[in-house]
Structure 1
Amino acid sequence: MIKRLIVIAITIISSCSFAQQGTASPYSFYGIGSLKFKGTVENRSMGGISVYLDSIHVNLRNPASYTGKNVDAYPFNGESRPVKFTVAGTVSEVNLKGDNADVNTNSATFDYLALSVPLGKFGFGFGLLPYTSVGYKIEDINDDGDLEYRFNGEGGTNRVFAGFGYQISKSLGIGVDVNYNFGTIENSALALEYTPEGELVQYQTRENTRSDVSGLNLNFGLAFKTMLNNTLELSATATYAPESELSSSNERSYSTLLFDSFTGSEIIRNTLEEDLEAQGLEQTKITIPSRLSFGAGLGKSKKWFVGAEFTYRNTSDFSNPIFGNEISSYENSSKIALGGFYIPNYDAFSGYFKRVVYRAGVNFANTGLVVKDESIKEFGISFGLGLPVGDRSLFSNANLGVEFGQRGTTNENLIQENFINFNVSLSLNSRWFQQRKYN
């Protein structure tokens, strides 16, 4: 049954991920795209918090979780802790609201594929995930109802990671992820020219830019978990990703084309490559800001948990020489998330829904992007279910989540995004290193 679920999940998620762009957000025009990875489905269903660590779920935000060996380490009592596999995808429905029009769009994406292997006090994790995504088509109409500008973009960056965790003591664990980021971002900008009589000039010019980016960065994690009394459990975590750089190999060209105002089609006549090497822009560096997060929470083992997490990024340090523009800038970003879960009876012999994990959360964020002097903020509320599947002794589960949120503003003729994300993942456990006992 588990093998069938894996095949079905990967097939559906892979099909969705190649069917459409990973995002439909106009704000993916800026920087290296919109941030796609915001934690596992379990994290996102609790408002985005990654404070809670256990031995049956992969936590891709904190590498200290790879050992899976913490206080109580349920349900394996610290022995024969499972190898954990997880895969996930998201379908998004987005309403783009402007001063004069509303547009609905959707996208489907693969979110992550990862494996975590505990070995005594050590633990290892590795996997693949889309990190940022670019996918937009923006058109600017003048007061006469004529198209003036058209911007298109696609691509993004992916991340392959390998992590290591070590359990210092029964309550304290540390870890580090080594991430290799790579991808391609393509942008085009068409500015239409008109005659004094309002007729389209015969030939128009479109600017095309392509960047192939790659580079390494690190993520350090710390996790603490202890019992305050016979029932209450305290969890605290912290992660830090230092500032890093991506290398970017760039190309830019200009296409002369015919534009059909009725169909919107563009017929290219010729293309001229720009000499970026002479300008020092053929090879550039993209600065990725540092990030710090910390959180804490209280709960009763196998029953309930409530936690909060704060994340801060030095986004004002972001730089990307090849994609500069006059209307946007960056400020330091922050996010606060609150969330938790409840399990009626995790080992109930009857009543399936007694073993279901019920999750909920909320978050507030300043994304760090400033457009036309307007700070782009984001708000979200989420709910989720963890549905037990397969062998009850392994505690595998299918996770369903839904997020309702809003990003941006209609001030200064900007776009406000109202989105709904439907998330699904499989979190599957298997014993590879079971300690056998004989009478």
Structure 2
Amino acid sequence: MMKMMNRILLVVCTVLVPIFAMSQSEGLTSSPYSLYGLGIINQTSIGKTNSMGYSGIGLKSETDINNLNPSNYSLVPKNSFFYDIGVVGEFNSYSNRGDDESKTTLNFSNLAFAFRIADRLGAGVTLVPYSDVGYTLLGLVSNIEGSNETFESNVSGLGGLNDLSFNLGYGITDHFRLGARASFLFGNIEETEAFVISNSYFSLSETTNYSGLRLGLGMQYDITDAFTFGSTVQLPVGLTGHLTRSVYKTLDGTEVTVEDDEADDVSDFKLPLELGFGFSAKIKESLTLTADYKRNLWDATDQSESIGTYRDQDIYAFGLEFQRNPKGYKYGQRIRYRAGFNYDNGYLAINDNKIDGYTITAGIGFPVGFATNSVINLSYAYGSKGQIQNILVKENYHTLTLNFSLEDLWFRKRVID
């Protein structure tokens, strides 16, 4: 019965791949900070690492998909096929000096597969949102050029980029693993501005499509059976942008003019060199500790926004997982309890104030069956970013992620006595 359910979900995952790619048009965030650049850069990962502070570069895992380091794919067991599908819901609340607001979003968070090719050689495919855009600004006041009169406009943005990654991991020895990743980044960001002046209406819609190929490497080394060090590097890349613009307007309430779309190439958006280092320690088979540090070199991209500049970014992440007895016959002994913390000092500085933030995570993993490593992972995160200062906004958010992290066993011969 469990095997049949796994394969049904595998078919469902395959069908949902194109749906997931399109679903970002519905918005995965409602953060006002998604106004800048490519939007909010996603940290949410796959499976259990969502509740471990998004840490796991040095996490040695043979029972599920660790997408934070491609070298870990070499540990996929023989005859095992892992797949993971996730759904995420987010509740955001914002505060500034004059107003408070809240919004809720719900969407898919990831699709992933992992399998073994040969001895010490494993591979995987993942699809996750790389960045999210979803903002609405109402009642922006602007001056009419050449006069003292003003008008109000509404501005909104929606979309983001997807990250389709192909991962390969190979074990050089039993304790040393290398990995490579090729990520195809693609997606579009749609921005709309509309306003009314007297009896005239104006609406401008711009859609920018971005795409590019990014390469990465990973490494894990088992210093001892209980202690592992890992590192990753994501190479810099310039994403190619193509802009489509559409204008609609009415004059004095009667005359209507619709201008044809115009397509233009826009400047490449540069993604920085990203370096990551991580450790994991296993204590008496029941407790696992993780710690990561990431450095993203945004200064070298020499990019800026109209009201801010990109600065080097530091991310610190910590996590733990407790499982009383991984091989226990009692169900309660095999339940996994997790917690974590993540601090991000930000990559965008507005008026010399970096938009930093922190996230506190917790979660639980419910095993499915006894003969496989299938787990239903439930993760909760509370986070805060920004500050009530100048033009900045204080944002608090609650995130709930549900991951079906399942294992199917293929090509195993049945033994009949």
TM-score normalised by the chain length of structure 2 = 0.87
After superposition, the C-alpha distances for 1:250-308 in whole angstroms (9 at most, x for unaligned) are 12344335899xxxxxx9943435867xxxx5253221111111011221363111121
Partner of 1:335: 315
The Cα offsets for residues 143-166 of structure 1, whole Å up to 9 and x where unpaired, read as 9xx973422111111122211111
- SS of the equivalent of 2:61 reads coil
Using the TM superposition, give the Cα deviation of residue 19 of structure 1 relative to its aligned residue in structure 2, in angstroms: 9.3
The 1:292/1:203 distance shift into structure 2, 3 A limit, reads same
Equivalent of 1:249 in 233, 239, 242: 242
The 1:343–1:240 alpha-carbon spacing in structure 2 relative to 1, beyond 3 Å, is same
Paired amino acid for 2:152: E
Match of 2:344 in 1: 365
CA distance in 1, matches of 2:82, 2:252: 53
Question: Which of 290, 309, 333 is the equivalent residue of 2:273?
Answer: 290
* Equivalent residue, structure 1, for 2:146: none
- TM normalised by structure 1 equals 0.83
Aligned to 2:357: 378
- The answer on whether the counterparts of 1:80 and 1:433 sit within 8 Å (CA) in structure 2 is no
Secondary structure of 2:64's counterpart equals coil
Match 2:55 to one of 49, 58, 63: 49
Structure with bigger strand share is 2
Aligned to 2:74: 67
Note the C-alpha offset of 1:432: 2.4
Contact 2:75 2:120 in 1 (8 A): no
In 2, Cα distance between equivalents of 1:249 and 1:397: 42
Structure 2 CA distance for aligned equivalents of residues 296 and 84 of structure 1: 24
1:405 matched residue in structure 2: 383
Q: Matched residues in 2 for 1:313 and 1:234: separation?
A: 26
Aligned to 1:196: none
What letter matches 1:188 in structure 2? T
CA deviations on 1:301-347 (whole Å, 9 max, x unpaired) are: 63111121101111234477xxx742122111111011111111111
Distance across 2 between alignment mates of 1:234 and 1:387? 25
What is aligned with 2:28?
22
**Could you tell me which residue of structure 1 aligns to residue 408 of structure 2?**
430
Secondary structure of 2:44 counterpart? coil
CA contact (8 A) 1:184 1:213 kept: yes
Give % identity.
23
Aligned to 1:313: 296
Measured after TM superposition, the shift of residue 142 of structure 1 is 5.5
Separation in 2 of the partners of 1:416 and 1:191?
A: 27
1:371-413 per-position Cα deviation (integer Å, ceiling 9, x unaligned): 23321111110001111003x1212111000000101122113
Q: Which amino acid aligns with 2:248?
A: S
How far off its partner does 1:419 sit?
Answer: 0.4
Contact 2:73 2:168 in 1 (8 A): yes
- Pair 1:183-2:191 in alignment: no
- Asked if structure 1 preserves the Cα contact closer than 8 Å seen for 2:47 and 2:405, the reply is no
1:101 matched residue in structure 2? 99
Per the alignment, in what secondary structure is the counterpart of residue 412 of structure 1?
coil
Residues 83, 430 of structure 1: 8 Å contact kept? yes
User: Does structure 2 conserve the Cα–Cα contact (< 8 Å) formed by 1:17 and 1:108?
Assistant: no
Tell me the CA shift for residue 208 of structure 1: 2.6
In 2 relative to 1, CA 147–312 (structure 1 residues): closer, same or farther, beyond 3 Å? farther
C-alpha change, 1:174 and 1:162, in structure 2 (3 Å) is same
Measured after TM superposition, the shift of residue 246 of structure 1 is 1.3
Alignment partner, residue 419 of structure 1:
397
CA RMSD of aligned residues (A): 3.2
Q: Which amino acid aligns with 2:318?
A: L
Structure 2 residue 130 is matched with structure 1 residue 131:
yes
Q: Deviations over 1:199-250 (max 9, x none)?
A: x43325444321111110012110112436xxxx101111100101211111
Aligned to 1:73: none
User: Could you say which residue in structure 1 is the equivalent of 2:334?
Assistant: 355
Secondary structure at 1:362's aligned position in 2?
strand
Q: Contact 1:110–1:130 at 8 Å: present in 2 too?
A: no
Q: CA deviation at 1:55?
A: 0.9
Count of aligned pairs between the two proteins: 402
Q: What is the CA distance between 1:438 and its match in structure 2?
A: 11
SS in 2 for 1:99: coil
Amino acid at match of 1:221: G
Q: Is this contact kept in 1: 2:47–2:404, CA < 8 A?
A: no
With over 3 angstroms needed to count, the CA separation of the structure-2 counterparts of 1:189 and 1:418, relative to structure 1, is same
Q: Name the CA distance, whole Å, in 1 between partners of 2:81 and 2:273.
A: 31
Which residue of structure 1 lines up, in the alignment, with residue 208 of structure 2?
211
Alpha-carbon shift at residue 170 of structure 1 (Å)? 0.9
**Contact preservation (8 Å) 1:288, 1:318:** yes
SS in 2 for 1:213: strand
Matched with 1:263 is none
Distance 1:207 1:389, change over 3 A: same
For structure 2, list consecutive stretches of 5 or more residues without a partner in the other structure.
Answer: 143-149
| Partner residue of 2:164 out of 156, 160, 166 | 160
CA distance in 2, matches of 1:420, 1:406: 9
